[in-house]
Structure 1
Amino acid sequence: MSLESTKADEIALIVEEAIVSGELPPGTVLRQEQLSERFAVSRTPVREALRRLAALGLVSFEPNRGVRVRTLSREELREAFLVRAELESLATELAAPRMTDADLESLERAEADFSRATQALRSRPPDEAERWQRTSDWVRANHGFHDVIYRVADSPLVERLAKSARRSFSGHAVWAPGGSETDALYERNDREHRAIIAALRAGNPGGARTLARDHVLHSYELLVHVLEQRPLNSVTGVVGRN
């Protein structure tokens, strides 16, 4: 593998994480010259990294406008949730008979992290930067919970496809704190994690699968509620600017 290809891999991974965490929200312009300066490389690996991100559906090349983090339509988001619901439930069912006590402890720790992140997100700090940080922390904690299940399921194709679907609706430009009704939906999300753990601990693959599927579909209801209060394209920017 060439050095430029290796650098392209590194850049793509870092930018993907920034998009998924919400550091780079939908609509953000990715300027090749700024990325080249940031990573101290020529534009060749930067262009290759951006092409890889485009293949994942995370960015789009727009004529005369450069590269932007994609803003998905509501229909695309709905389809992504439907796909993830089936894959997530399958992964959970596959993981159920493989769960060891150590795995369940890892899942409990991940859920505790998610619960704390949920409470922090619901506190709605007045500082906007802090709100975005807490939302990014919430996204990462949520991924951490489901990543334990993917690891135990040991089904690389299912994991890869499910993670591809979830990239579509990650980030603080999508998820955001709201009012009391939003709080109730976030709390339901947290309770459902605990219900999934209980089903896995009980050795109930079918029950765990149903709970996981319902959980993802309920997350879509939460997303729709958030989007009704905060348009998906309401946060845009350019890499390198505040």
Structure 2
Amino acid sequence: MSTELSTKADDIAAVLEDEIVAGAIPPGTVLRQEQLSERFAVSRTPVREALRRLAALGLVSFEPNRGVRVRSIAPLELREAFLVRAELEGLATQVATEKMTPADVAALEEAEVAFAALTAELRRQAAQGERDEAMFGRWMQGNYAFHEVIYRVAAMPYVERVAKAARRTFIGDRVWSARAELDGLYARNELQHRAILGAVAAGSASAAGQLAREHVLASGRLIEAVLDLARDPS
């Protein structure tokens, strides 16, 4: 595949990933190549490659005679994904802290400030009863941007690749009714980012790694609780 087609596939996969995780494309949806080709104004070649990349991340599955379907995630799979993420992100954060330059710390702080602003807006919308998948997608990207600084500085491509493949939580449409729990998730994530930033800025690699590990595990426990509530609101 040429560089241009590969870049198009990356772009398409990134858009679809955001929409799937945010719930804009719910589990069970069949993704049709002809419709995606028309939507993104490309041939089917980059679309097929984008779908393969989503399948490698566990977001979709290829079903014989049915096409490509957006996957749901089982509770045990979700728990395992968070355990993997916790260890790998903790490791990456510890290694990155030892390599951080003042410019890197500034970049991490900038990402945290942007994430805090997104968190405040998402909490405001949730309090008003607004449902905005696009805003939720931007919030997730802001969350990822914070960790991207850490991955870049750590320079551990294998760890980064496996951790990113495990961070697909698929909370999407099933949790929009759990307002209070989601508000707690938003607030806690932002506070934990600040704590990680503080440990990184202080050069405390061990503390930063442990905070990152606890951050992922806490998010996992809360999302499990939210999903339980969504399944049984009584």
Over 3 Å counting, the alpha-carbon distance change for 1:66 and 1:170 in structure 2 is same
Task: Check conservation: 2:181, 2:222, Cα contact below 8 A.
Answer: no
**Aligned counterparts of 1:219 and 1:14: Cα–Cα separation in 2:** 28
Matched, 1:19 2:25: no
TM-score by length of 1: 0.83
Alignment of 1:20-59 (within 5 A): 20-21=18-19, 22=22, 23-59=24-60
Percent of aligned pairs with the same residue? Answer: 53
Question: Are the counterparts in 1 of residues 185 and 222 from structure 2 also a CA contact under 8 Å?
Answer: yes
Measure how far apart 1:171 and its partner are: 6.5
Quote how far apart the aligned CAs of 1:54 are. Answer: 1.9
Matched, 1:209 2:209: yes
> What is the rounded CA distance, in whole Å, between the counterparts of 1:38 and 1:52 in structure 2?
18
Contact kept in structure 2, 1:60 and 1:70, CA below 8 Å: yes
Moved more, 38-47 or 150-159: 38-47
- Contact 1:178 1:226 survives alignment (8 Å): yes
User: How far apart, CA to CA, are the structure 2 residues paired with 1:51 and 1:215?
Assistant: 30
Matched positions, count: 226
Match of 1:190 in 2: 190
**Corresponding residue for residue 133 of structure 1:** 134
- 1:140-178 C-alpha deviation (Å, 9 max, x unpaired): 110011111111111111111111111x21564466474
8 Å CA contact 1:36, 1:43 repeated in 2: yes
**CA 1:153–1:223 in structure 2 vs 1: closer, same or farther (change >3 Å)?**
same
What's the CA shift for 1:37? Answer: 2.1
Bigger CA drift: 156-165 or 173-182?
Answer: 173-182
Q: 1:52-91 maps to which residues of 2 (within 5 A)?
A: 52-91=53-92
- Structure 1: any 5+ residue segments left out of the alignment? 232-242
* Structure 1 contact 83–165 (Cα < 8 Å) conserved: yes
Partner of 2:200: 200
The amino acid that maps onto 2:142 is: A
Shift of 1:43: 3.4
Contact 2:82 2:166 in 1 (8 A): yes
Normalization by structure 2: what TM-score?
0.85
SS in 2 for 1:35: helix
